[in-house]
Amino acid sequence: MNETIIISIFFIWFAAFLTFGQNVASALFGAGLVGVLLWEGPHMFKGIIGPDVFYTVSTYSLSIIPLYLLMAQFLMRGKVVEDLFLVAHKLSGGSRFLLGSGTLVLGGVLGAVTGSGAAAAAALATLASPELEKYGYKKDFSIALTAVAGSLSAIIPPSIIMIIYGSLTNVPIGNLFMGAFIPGAITIAVFIICLYVYSEYSGKVLVQSDGAVEQETAATVETEIGAQSFYAFIFVIILMIAIFGGIYGGIVTAGEAGSLGAFVSLIGMLVMRRIGFEDIKASLTDAVKITAMIMVIVMGAQIFGRFLSFSMFPRHLLSFVEPLMGNPTLVLGIILFVFYLFGMFLESAAVMVLIIPVILPILKAMETDFLWFGVMASFVISIGLLTPPVGLSAYSAAAATNYPVERIFRYAIVFASVAAVVVVTLMIAFPGLITYLPSKIN
């Protein structure tokens, strides 16, 4: 069969099954298997495909994923999220803007705790949205703000997609985590500035602006927070400092930090009597389920990538963009835009495993810093979590509050667009924002 026809069948199969609503992993598996079968024949399944899949999912980098997921599950089961919000509520001191800012900062903390934009957005939408409404924000804007906060999980370490990127490119996971700190902080700052503009200069997001509701709510804060909430808040801060301080100081690797985080989370929740045997059992079960889901996507992407390797599609793509190689900034801009487009339609882990094998030869040819690019790609994917038609963070926040998602998107897109322009421009103009901290790791 003609090579062009086989490649056409391969891509049509993948696009068609995605359009019909097939799971991303299944679409990757199907397209990859059909492509290899037509290109090389069935003998390749036993000789290469099987060992490929086994060695891919058994790599050390991917073994880190269940450790951070387990840490997140222990903290979620211990209801630490609620305590974090109550403390943010307390620290706001009766200010609407400060509470909104605290919600965004809390989204960054939850990104470090849960590693899931959907989970963080849903948790914040349930807890924070009603309180933001009490302070005078409209319901749709309150929910949108929690979706924006949840999207930070993709750029705030320990980001699952950064772990996947590191496993695909052999970039040390600890370096990726540290490299994302400054861009993550800048992203939060940009979101807070957007919130300030909305709060102070746009009456469309406010129910009232006379401060009466703020004062009334502030007066009730004292009775809503107990010592346990502050203990939980302090525990999470110490846990994060121990994990990332250990990585930065060269005391532990990213994998060892994950083990440390899971163990300390378990001990901490047990000591504070926040979880029992059933919670531990449920945490282990959920961590395994999410890990299995990610691994299935990775396996499907490996077979998908194997066909691309047989067909030399990346090499043809490299030849196609070769005339643009004289302007690497333009090529990188196009690649990042592709990440953004895919992030609008697919789950973030699927975007990473799908695109990286294809563009790797291009990045190598341009001598791109893989660390810098990994953080950039993760940020762009985080923007995709806020934009239609998929926008997982927006959908999760809307679903948690049973609210129409299209009214969430109209605010979330503004936050995403401003952050995309400002943060991407800064990271391109000043690469040291990403590379400085990793260069100081002992």
pLDDT of 220 over the 50 cut: no
- On whether residue 16 sits in a domain, the answer given is no
pLDDT interval class at 427 (50, 70, 90): very high
**Residue 162 counted as domain residue:** yes
Res 87: pLDDT: 77
**Counting every residue, how long is the chain?**
442
Least confident interval from 85-89, 156-160, 169-173, 422-426:
85-89
Q: Is there a domain that residue 13 lies in?
A: no
- Out of 26-30, 95-99, 206-210, least confident range: 206-210
Beta-bridge partner residues of 173 = none
Bridge partner list, 137: 206
Q: Which residues of 330-358 are buried (b: 16+ CB within 10 A; e: fewer)?
A: ebbeebbebbbebbbbbbbbbbbbbbbbb
**Residue 392: inside a domain:** yes
pLDDT of residue 29: 82
Q: Exposure of 23 by Cβ count < 10 A (0-12 exposed, 13-18 middle, 19+ buried)?
A: middle
**For residue 383, what are the CA distances in angstroms to 152, 240, 259, 365, 411?**
9, 24, 29, 27, 13
How many domains does the structure of the chain reveal?
Answer: 1
pLDDT at residue 392 tops 80 = no
- Measured over all CA atoms, what is the biggest interatomic distance in the chain, rounded to whole angstroms? 75
Quickly tell me which residue has 């600890």 as its tokens: 174
Enumerate long-range contacts of 169-175, CB under 8 Å, 24 or more apart. 169/356, 169/360, 169/370, 169/374, 171/370, 171/371, 171/374, 172/254, 172/438, 173/61, 173/64, 173/253, 173/254, 173/255, 174/247, 174/253, 174/254, 174/257, 174/438, 174/441, 175/371, 175/438, 175/441
Question: pTM here?
Answer: 0.77
Residue 14 lies in a domain: no
Tens of pLDDT, residues 127-171: 778 878 877 888 888 899 988 988 887 788 777 788 888 888 889
Structural domain harbouring 63? 24-439
Q: Measured between alpha carbons, how far is 170 from 165 in angstroms, rounded to an integer?
A: 8
Mean pLDDT, residues 257-284: 89
Mean per-residue pLDDT of the chain: 80
pLDDT of residue 119: 67
- Give me the pLDDT at residue 218, please: 45
17 within domain boundaries: no
Mean local confidence (pLDDT), 328-338: 84
Q: Is residue 286 part of a domain?
A: yes
> Is the Cα torsion angle 217, 222, 224, 227 positive or negative in sign?
positive
